[in-house]
């Protein structure tokens, strides 16, 4: 097999809460100096215990078999394409002339998500406690927009995001995390000019994706390692503690971890840990129960 050349730039798709997408008639908002927080979606905003990954794996391998592959070939190619391209569909597009939208129709869009994903009040509270006077909050996913927006709605948190940046399956060849083109295009969707790396916060359940963002200098990268099996894939990246001590600096540096001002990588096993790790982006609770912006 000879892989086709990757696209020269990303074809990331930006979808807004009203369902519209960024096109020639809609451009990114002017930069305003706020921090930008990116959340991955699948296996990050919901637990792996929901079983979505296993359901998705079954649909994907069934699609491989539709191409005339045996069960063993489907298993091997699925794993190979995921490792090689970040998404199985990219391997299918490059080597099997598969229509990515047809793939999505039979795989992601065919998942019975409404049977396993429900409103998550705890997650909604976490997201709503992010200080929007200081931050913009976006979803950043390798899924197509239909699946991404569907998950957010089922979790009851769609309104907590200013938009969803996803892969554009309709573009044929496209980039995805952890490729630099995808990350850089995502920033172009957020503002004009794009926000600086020093203002970026990112959480993902894939060590590979975290490494990709860290390599670009994204300031605060977090690996959500729910099961504890992913951290080893961060390689030799220096990690700061998941819960900085009270003596940490005002911008969340832990002291004794990464050098102040350098890109940081942390590992959490529960998204609630972000409250202590990223104190500066959350509103604080007053004794009377009201909230106020963190200093």
The arithmetic mean of pLDDT across residues 54-65, rounded, is 93
On whether both 30 and 142 belong to a single domain, the answer is: yes
Q: Does the pLDDT of residue 165 top 50, yes or no? A: yes
Nearest by Cα to 113 from 46, 165, 19: 46
Average of per-residue pLDDT values in the chain: 87
The arithmetic mean of pLDDT across residues 219-240, rounded, is 93
Nearest by Cα to 202 from 156, 140, 255, 252: 140
CA distance 198 to 78: 36
On whether both 140 and 229 belong to a single domain, the answer is: yes
**Is 271 inside a domain boundary?**
yes
Q: Which of 5-9, 76-80, 155-159 has the highest mean pLDDT?
A: 155-159
On whether both 138 and 93 belong to a single domain, the answer is: no
Q: How far is the CA of 245 from the CAs of 204, 250, 277, 279, in angstroms?
A: 23, 11, 9, 11
On whether both 288 and 215 belong to a single domain, the answer is: yes
Question: Which residue's entry shows tokens 């998942």?
Answer: 111
Taking the CA atoms of the chain, what radius of gyration do you get in angstroms? Answer: 19
Give residue-wise pLDDT tens across range 178-198.
Answer: 999 999 999 999 999 999 999
Q: Could you tell me the pTM of the whole model?
A: 0.88
The arithmetic mean of pLDDT across residues 153-182, rounded, is 93
On whether both 153 and 98 belong to a single domain, the answer is: no
The arithmetic mean of pLDDT across residues 39-43, rounded, is 98
Give residue-wise pLDDT tens across range 248-273.
Answer: 333 444 333 445 578 999 999 999 99
The tokens for 51 are 């079983």
SS3 content of the chain, % helix, strand, coil (to 5): 40, 15, 45
Nearest by Cα to 15 from 118, 110, 153, 204: 153
Tell me which residue range forms the domain holding 289: 12-45+118-293
| CATH value at residue 77 | 1.10.150.450
How many domains is the chain partitioned into structurally? Answer: 2
Confidence grade of residue 4 (pLDDT, cut at 50, 70, 90): very low
Nearest by Cα to 223 from 171, 184, 277, 180: 277
pLDDT at residue 245, as a whole number: 39
pLDDT at residue 8, as a whole number: 46
On whether both 91 and 201 belong to a single domain, the answer is: no
CA distance 292 to 119: 26
The arithmetic mean of pLDDT across residues 191-216, rounded, is 97
Percent of the chain residues topping a pLDDT of 90: 68
CA distance 60 to 52: 12
Answer with the one of 93, 113, 133 that is the final residue of a domain: 113
CA distance 170 to 84: 21
Q: Does the pLDDT of residue 5 top 60, yes or no? A: no
Taking a C-beta distance cutoff of 8 angstroms, is the pair 164, 157 a contact? Answer: no
| CATH value at residue 219 | 3.40.50.1000
The tokens for 201 are 């916060």
Taking a C-beta distance cutoff of 8 angstroms, is the pair 254, 262 a contact? Answer: no
CA distance 101 to 15: 17
On whether both 270 and 124 belong to a single domain, the answer is: yes
Q: Does the pLDDT of residue 72 top 60, yes or no? A: yes
pLDDT at residue 238, as a whole number: 86
Q: How far is the CA of 101 from the CAs of 15, 93, 213, in angstroms?
A: 17, 10, 27
On whether both 191 and 149 belong to a single domain, the answer is: yes
**Is 1 inside a domain boundary?**
no
14 three-state secondary structure: strand
Answer with the one of 79, 98, 113 that is the final residue of a domain: 113
On whether both 220 and 130 belong to a single domain, the answer is: yes
**Is 4 inside a domain boundary?**
no
CA distance 200 to 183: 11
Give residue-wise pLDDT tens across range 98-126.
Answer: 999 999 999 999 999 999 999 999 999 99
On whether both 58 and 40 belong to a single domain, the answer is: no
Answer with the one of 113, 147, 167 that is the final residue of a domain: 113
Higher pLDDT, 6 or 127: 127
**Is 2 inside a domain boundary?**
no
**Is 24 inside a domain boundary?**
yes
pLDDT at residue 22, as a whole number: 77
On whether both 198 and 146 belong to a single domain, the answer is: yes
**Is 143 inside a domain boundary?**
yes
**Is 240 inside a domain boundary?**
yes
CA distance 182 to 218: 13
CA distance 63 to 185: 30
**Is 6 inside a domain boundary?**
no
Q: Does the pLDDT of residue 140 top 90, yes or no? A: yes
On whether both 250 and 206 belong to a single domain, the answer is: yes
């Amino acid at each position: 097999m000879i892989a086709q050349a990757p696209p020269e730039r990303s074809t990331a798709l930006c979808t807004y809460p009203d369902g519209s997408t960024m096109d020639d008639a809609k451009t990114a908002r002017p930069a305003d100096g706020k921090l930008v927080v990116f959340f991955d979606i699948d296996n990050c905003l919901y637990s792996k215990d929901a079983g979505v990954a296993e359901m998705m794996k079954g649909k994907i391998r069934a699609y491989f078999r539709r191409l005339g592959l045996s069960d063993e070939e489907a298993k091997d190619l699925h794993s190979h394409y995921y490792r090689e391209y970040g998404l199985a569909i990219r391997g299918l597009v490059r080597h099997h002339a598969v229509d990515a939208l047809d793939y999505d129709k039979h795989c992601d869009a065919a998942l019975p998500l409404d049977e396993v994903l429900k409103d998550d009040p705890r997650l909604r509270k976490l997201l709503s406690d992010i200080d929007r006077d200081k931050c913009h909050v976006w979803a950043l996913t390798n899924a197509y927009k239909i699946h991404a927006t569907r998950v957010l709605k089922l979790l009851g948190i769609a309104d907590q995001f200013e938009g969803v940046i996803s892969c554009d399956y309709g573009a044929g060849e496209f980039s995805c995390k952890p490729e630099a083109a995808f990350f850089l295009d995502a920033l172009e969707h957020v503002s004009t000019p794009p926000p600086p790396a020093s203002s970026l916060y990112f959480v993902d359940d894939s060590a590979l994706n975290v490494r990709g963002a860290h390599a670009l200098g994204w300031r605060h990268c977090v690996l959500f390692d729910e099961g504890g099996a992913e951290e080893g894939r961060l390689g030799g990246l220096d990690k700061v503690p998941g819960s900085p001590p009270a003596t940490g600096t005002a911008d969340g540096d832990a002291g004794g971890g990464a050098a102040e001002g350098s890109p940081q990588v942390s590992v959490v096993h529960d998204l609630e840990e972000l409250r202590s790790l990223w104190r500066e982006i959350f509103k604080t609770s007053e004794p009377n129960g009201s909230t106020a912006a963190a200093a």
